[in-house]
Each structure stands twice: as C-alpha cells, then as structure tokens.
A and B are shown apart, each in its own frame.
Chain A
C-alpha cells in the first residue's frame, strides 16, 4: 500500500513537472499576448490540478503554496489583476518554488513554501481587489456537498424514508440554526452534522448551494450553508438536540409519529460449499451465471416493453437456479432465491406497483447473487448472505406493503470520544487563524478582531472540555491584548499554538531533540518563534525551552542533515531513477517484433536440424538459412530503429527553457534581448539532451550577461538597442551542432591574454585565434566585477568538461564589437551506426556512413598535382585526394609519393564529408556497408583524434572507426 502510494506519488511528480513547465511557457506567452483568455485559463487549470493532486498525496505544503499561486492566477484570469511584468515575475518565481518543493519532496526532503513570496502574492491580491485574502490553507475546508434538490426530497431518499417509516423508525427534519456568530464561537455545524449522520440509520442533507460563494470569498469564520437534515433514527428529539451542544441551534421536527419500533433480530445467513466436488459445483455455477445474465436481459426487456414472456423467462431462470441450489443443499441461497422469486411473483400477479423501482431492486439482487456465486466458487469458507438477503427482504416488505426487517442502528460512540474529535477539529481551525493573524499580531483592526474571536472560541471550547491550561493561556493573551503588551501576547499565543499543535500533530524530530525543561524569557520565545517557521515544531513538545537549547537542537539537526548527506548511499537510491515517457504504441510495436523474433529464432532450430540430417553435399538448406538471416536482420533493424527513436527528443524542449532565462536576465539587467531559435526539431538522445541543458544555460547566461550590452551602450555603438541571441541546432554527419550566437561586444583578446598570463598560462600572442579557447580554463573570467548571474569563471570550465564527457567539443569564435559564437559539437548518440568498411595495407577500417558522400573509382592519370598534394576533378569541383595509410601513419597524409600510383590503373576513392569540405581518400579496397556497434576509444588512446571508436566484428576482429574530421 505504502509502496503503491509512493509509485503514484512519483507519477504525480512527473505530471506536476510537466504542468509547471507548461505553465512557465504559457505565462511567457501570455505576457506577450495578455488578451488570450484561453491561455490564462490553461495556466490556472494547471496550477489548480497540481494543488488538487498534491493534497491527495499529502503534500500539503505544495498544495498550500499552489493555492496562493492559484489565487493570484485566478485574479489574473478574472481580470482583477492585470498581467503586468511584476505579476509574471511573481508567478514564474512561484512556479520555481513549486518545482523546487516537488523536487525536494521527491528527494525525500521537505522544503517549506517561500513565505516572502506568499506575502507578495497576498499583497498583490489584496491590493488589487481590496478584498481580504482567501481563507487559510486550502485543506482547512474540503467542501463535500451532497447535491440534492432543495425543494423536494430526491426520489431514492424518499423511497428509503418510506421504507424505514414502515419499519417503525422515527424520521426527523432538522433545521439548523447555526449562524456566523455561533460558528465563530466554536460551535461547528459540520461536526454536528457528522455526529447525526453517524448516529442515524438514514441521513440526508439538503443544502442550497447558491449560498456558496466563490473561492475568493471563502472565509473560515463565516457559515455559508444552512442545511436541512432528514434523518431516520431511534433517537429522541431531545437526544438529537444534545448533539448540537446548545439546544436552540437546531429545530427538530418529527415527520411521522411512528408505531413501536420493529425489533426483529437480524438473522445471520451464510453459505458454504464444503463437500461438493468441482465438477458438480461447475455444473451448478455455469448455468447459474448464464441464467443470471439472461435474467438481467429479460428484466430490462420487461421494463422497456412490459411483455409477459420476459417476465415468465425471469421466473423460470430464478426457479431453475433455486432448484439446482436446493439439489446441492445450499439452503441459504435457496432462501435468498425464494425471496427473489416472491418478488417476481408479485410482479407477475401485478401486486407490486412501480416496475421501475422493482427493476432497481431486482438488478441489485442479481448483482448480489453474482457476487455470492463468485465468492462461493473461490471456496474461501462461508460467504455471508446477510446483507443482500435483508436488503431484499426489506424491499420486498416495502414493495408488497408488508412489514419488513430494518437495519440495525449502530450504537454511536461514547460521548467522550466524540467530544474529543470535535474539540481537536475546532482547535485545528483556530490554530490556522492564530498562526495567520496573531503571529505576530498584525496591528490592523480586522486581524485583531479575528484573533480575538479565535481566542474567545478557544476559551469556550476549552471550558467545555475542561482543559484549564488553555483557558488560562487564553486569558493571559487576552489580558496582554487589552494592555497593549505585544510581548506577552506573542508569548501567550505562541504557547497556545504550541499546545494545539501538541494536540493535533505527531511529534516531530526536532521536538524530540529538545528536552522539555527550563523556563523561557520573552526574547527566547521570540527567537523560537522566528525559528519556528523554518524548523517546524520546536515548540511542539513544551514551548518551554531556553534559547540555548533551541540553538543546540537546531545545530544538532543541521549536523544530522550533514551526516545524512555524507553517508554513502546504500540500498535502493530512489531519487536517481530517471523516468521517460514512451508512447504506448511504440511498446506495442515492440511486442509484435518480439513475437516475430521468437519465430525466427525457432526457425534456426529447425534449420540446424535440417543441416545435420542433410546428405553430404546437399546445400539446399543454405538458402533457407539466408532467408532467415534476412528476416532476422530486418527485425533487429526495426528493433534498433525503434529503441533509437524512443530515446530521441527534439531540442525544442531545451531551447524553450531559455525563454525564461532570457526574460529573467533582461529584466534584472534592464537589457533588451530577442531570442531566435533555429532547428528546434532536431532530435537528440534524451540523455544527451538532459546533460546539455546545464552547459547551455551557462552559455546563454554568459552571452546575455557578458556579451550583449545595455541599450545605451548599443545605441552608442550604432547597433540596434535590442540585442539578439541565436540558438541554432543542426545535424551534421553524426554530430549534433548547437550554436549560441550573440551580437554583443565580443571577447576581449587582450584581456584574456593578460589574465591567462597572470595565471601562468603559456600564451604566444593575443592575436592567435586559439586565445578564445582559453576562456574554458577554470578560474578565468574577464569580467571585472562578478554579477549574480555569471562572471565567476566557473561556467565555461564546466561547459567544456560537460561537453567533453559527452564525447563532444566546444569552440569559440568572436569578433570584438560584433559578437561571439560558441559551437558545441556533440555526437548524436552512441550506439549502432552503418559504416563503410574499407581496407588499407591489409587492415580493415570502418567509416561512419554519415561521413561518406559516395565511393568512386578514379583512373590514376586523372589525379593532378595541386600545390603539395594531389587532387582530381570531381563533379565540377576540385577534390583533394589523400591516401588513407599515409594519413594514418603520420606525415601530412598527402599523397605525395607518385610511386604509390605506379602499376595501378584505377584507385578506389571514398569521398568523405569533413568539417573542411569534401575529401577523397584512397583505399586499397572498398568493402560492403555494415551495421556496427561503436564502442568508445579507451581513455589511453583518446588523444588520437583520427579514431572515433572501435568496433568488434562477428569473427572477433577489432576494427577502428575513423573520424574524418580528426584526420586533418
């Protein structure tokens, strides 16, 4: 159960994150287009859903915080607050806080909401609407409103009432007279209703929902609903009034003077099937089930058409089952069926009025029967028929106008328990009020009045249950209030709150750490109170600790936290499981492919058998082998493509995040920046995408913070005031290229040079293009002052190591005054690639097919000397030509040695695509294309740039995978 809850909770985290991401995006869009009501609705709904779900998962803090955000968004949606940048700021920040809370919860730590932010939200709402803030935490009220007609009783209930009236139970109409005033004083109508409900056989509340105000006007101190209750009970009117604590709060009227209650004992009825063997049981069960289905059909037909034949059929079915059951000695079942038969007989003889009602009863009886049968079939001991039997009897009694049985009324729990629950419930509500209005005491008249009311309520309730500690404390704080002594008031209410918490909550860790002794001074309490928000329930246990104890406990807790972090992870590490959503259809496709794979595998079994038994020299089975191999390779291809496709996500997801980053920076630094994205749809492995996110954030921040200048500077430099940031993604070969381009002031060569020199790095000259790559050195930031966004010189270092860990590379180009371009080159995905197999000097190599333009044969005489190397005309352009062996064995790789061409009339050329244009590579032999699994080069060899990986062939040979870019 707990495990399940955890599972769904994790699912919720995932959903919440998606919703927040969407809300973030929508907020930014809404800021651009404030008139889009649908967008505002959508944002509101998202947060609304989070609030709703979080409450369900007992993430009350999340729910409470989402509630505030929701109020703000609600006001925006309703137009009471304009969506100005400030509001968007707050909302975005709140989304972040929510995200942080959700992440924290997922990692097992709890993070409180941002109280300052809540205050800002509240201030906004109350400023804008001049209304009071919405009521306390959303969990304080969970309106469960029974929907019902206010003018007349709903039909099923009226029917039930009739039933119990014939059974001799008294029926009351209770009109509640609770008012706002009584409500404030601690007389809780809801508790009264709950108690009545528990004490009565039938309970129905009729409320006028029109009285319910909108969410924003909810107020815990007001009573919105004044329900009328209809109950059936054998309590006396006076006993009902007693529930209300004060008799004048309710008006109790008996609807019928009842005869003496029918006190028939409820007969226990159960059935068991010992001693019946399976075959016989089945012979009974199967026709019985079929019969019941037929019965259902016939019943509905009868209701619809009223035809006599259907009725007869029903009668036959029940009769047959009854007969069979009797044969098996299932006597209780027989009795049940007998009653059902009587009911149907009544229908047959037209003694039962209202066929609709009877249909309902019979349908229910059929359901019950089905259930009983299936339980009997499980042979888990006796099956109780009591409930369905008596339900049926009751209906039978009511329908045929006879006296039936009635439901036994549970004796209600002892008053002490009830009182306690009521009291604790009341206290919980007052606690909310006190925390909000009295801590610290807000000087305005409204809050003050509210606090006083709450205190009075506590006083009353405490007197009622006889808790003198509370009455004394309340008196103290009231006195302090009249004497305008905020210090003692704060202390007294603090103690009240602590006391209530002790009543309502479990002890928390910090509470356990505190030893409850010693007296406190006012200052200590102040301190404890100020700590209270963050540390939860310091005062739970006693509220009476010295500041030193508090400090020590806090220290201890901190130490424990640290200890927890330092402890090596053991067991399951839950938080590290990263999840990914996969389209269900894709999985289904896999299942199909897997089925085919199994068949293909089994075919091999068969083929091998054939090969073994085939007469010598007979190779006819070879063709079958080959065919099967084709099938197998098609399947594995499909599998591979499927898995790859599943892992690929568009970079759009990463890029979108930057809208937000950009907005934050532009607002903070008063810069105007436009973002342009290219190639959003480029897909990249999800893992790569996840890892890329952080380095890109660094780059974008750097570009905005260091690169793009403020509008004034830009104007002076003759540039448009609005800076431009371009994010570009593209696929080149098997690499993903991401460029972050800004049109800012560019990097300062001289400054980098000086700084690098100062750090003791060996640099030749500031004019060297390689100078820019120095910015990736740890600790090198050219920004004189560090801003809170970037400039500490850690970013670029992290960017490079991150990109390198992905097997990629990062390069910087910059032009002073014009801007900077950072290029990330990352392999799209490690895995399986198609490659061209070539041979050179007897060695086999693989060239990834993405790099191969085509393979051609060139006559030796068509090679021309170009400068120091060789080249040929190729499709209207000059193609440099090199020998693979010379390229790999050192030298400049140029095909300088004319002898190499001697005696060879024709050369095999692989035309490759490289970062510097096309290149023809001469190899000894071009082999076929193959699917190869590329493994990374061992770290010792990673400095060899001409090799991007190794692959192992089917015969165990190791083949080097060439990297054309690295060979130059």
Chain B
C-alpha cells in the first residue's frame, strides 16, 4: 500500500526532484507550492508524512508545521524539513514547532529516502 507524502517547496524543480525520488520508492506524492497550498491540499485527505521547505511565499515552513499540528486530523503526521537553512536557531524553532527531522540542502536523494523510510517505513 502506498504511503502518501505531501511535499511543499516553492521551487518547481525541487518539488519535481523530491517527488520523483519518493515516487520511485513507491510513495504516493502530493505536491504543494507553498505552505498555504499545502494546507489547502491537506484538507480532506490524510497523508503519512510532510516534507517541507522553510522559505516559501504565503506561508513558510514553520507556519505550516504549526498549522498542521493544530489540525486534529493531521497532528500526528511527521514533518521533515528539507531546506538550505542550517542555522541552529531556525532548527530549534522548527523542532519546537514539531518538525521531526531536518535535512539540509544540498541533499542526496537517497539521504531523503533514508530519513523518510526511517520515519514511516
């Protein structure tokens, strides 16, 4: 059974790359262009994992985490941050909001797959 992963990234190429990587491992992928789009797309469906960028227009990654955690339907969905941001404070902020893992770009596709597998199998 395919697990569903929602990815939020404003760079179409990144979205494509992440999506492709995860799809090739048998996951079902939903793509969102930013935090707001992610929240919209999350309404009415359940996903197993969210992979999100940090810097995005409309709603950034941290706000997205908060929005997800505030929704009873999604509050257990683990969130992986995949971002170029590596500042300790930012990470701490993400952690407190409820991010499960933090991958710093540039990432290797198999690292992402490893982390995802570790979290949702």
Contact = CB atoms under 8 A, between A and B. Distances in A.
B1 A368 contact: yes
B1 A139 contact: no
A15 B72 contact: no
Contacts of B88: 209-210, 212, 214
B118 A53 contact: no
B111 interface: yes
Contacts of B76: 360, 363
A147 interface: yes
Contacts of A147: 91, 94-95, 99-102
A52 B20 contact: no
B106 A8 contact: no
Contacts of B99: 147
A15 B14 CA distance: 10
Interface in B1-60: 1-2, 11-14, 16-18, 20, 24, 46, 48, 55
Given A4-B20, A139-B106, A144 B101 contact: yes
Interface of B is mostly: mixed
Interface string B57-100: 00000000000000011001000000110111001101100011
A63 interface: yes
B14 A209 contact: no
A145 B73 contact: no
A303 interface: yes
A191 to B, nearest CB: 14
Nearest to A47: B84
Interface in A119-163: 138-139, 142-148
B105 to A, nearest CB: 3
A142 B111 contact: yes
A144 B17 contact: no
A355 to B, nearest CB: 12
A56 B24 contact: no
A138 B95 contact: no
A197 B117 CA distance: 12
A45 interface: yes
Interface in A798-846: none
Nearest to B91: A209
B1 A54 contact: no
B1 A145 contact: no
A612 interface: no
Nearest to B99: A147
A56 B84 contact: no
A4 B99 CA distance: 29
A375 interface: yes
A768 B91 CA distance: 73
A145 B16 contact: no
A146 B101 contact: yes
B74 to A, nearest CB: 10
A863 B17 CA distance: 74
A284 interface: no
A209 B101 CA distance: 12
Contacts of A145: 91, 101-102
Chain A, interface size category, equals: 35 or more
Contacts of B18: 56
Contacts of A603: none
A138 B100 contact: no
Nearest to B28: A371
Nearest to A13: B13
A11 B12 contact: yes
A9 B17 CA distance: 8
B107 A56 contact: yes
Contacts of B106: 51-56, 63, 138-139, 142
A625 interface: no
A372 B103 CA distance: 32
Chain B, interface size category, equals: 35 or more
A143 B2 CA distance: 28
A9 B20 contact: no
A304 B17 CA distance: 39
A209 B111 contact: no
Contacts of A5: 17, 20
Contacts of B101: 144-147
A53 B108 contact: no
Contacts of A360: 76
B96 to A, nearest CB: 9
B20 A12 contact: no
B70 to A, nearest CB: 13
A584 to B, nearest CB: 11
A143 B109 contact: no
A307 B92 CA distance: 38
Contacts of B111: 142, 144
Interface string A471-510: 0000000000000000000000000000000000000000
Contact of A142 (B11, B17, B92, B107): B107
A950 B46 CA distance: 62
B86 A143 contact: yes
Nearest to A7: B16
A876 to B, nearest CB: 56
Contacts of A304: 72
B103 A53 contact: no
B105 A52 contact: yes
A15 B1 contact: no
Nearest to A147: B95
Interface string A339-367: 00000000000000000000010010001
A658 interface: no
Nearest to A4: B20
Contacts of B86: 143, 215
Which of B48, B94, B118 is the most central at the interface, judged by chain A CB atoms within 10 Å of its CB? B118
Interface string A616-656: 00000000000000000000000000000000000000000
B72 A300 contact: yes
Nearest to A149: B95
A15 B11 contact: yes
A45 B90 CA distance: 15
Contacts of B83: 52
A197 B118 CA distance: 9
Contacts of B115: 144
Nearest to A11: B13
Contacts of A14: 13
A340 to B, nearest CB: 16
Contacts of A363: 46, 76
Nearest to B97: A147
Contacts of B1: 368, 371-372, 375, 383, 387-388
Contact of B11 (A53, A197, A388): A53
Given A7-B16, A142-B104, A145-B91, 5 more contacts: A53-B11, A142-B103, A142-B106, A145-B101, A363-B76
Closest 4 CB pairs of A and B: A55-B106, A52-B105, A8-B16, A371-B1
13 contacts: A4-B16, A12-B14, A49-B11, A51-B84, A51-B105, A51-B106, A53-B17, A56-B108, A142-B107, A145-B91, A146-B101, A147-B94, A372-B1
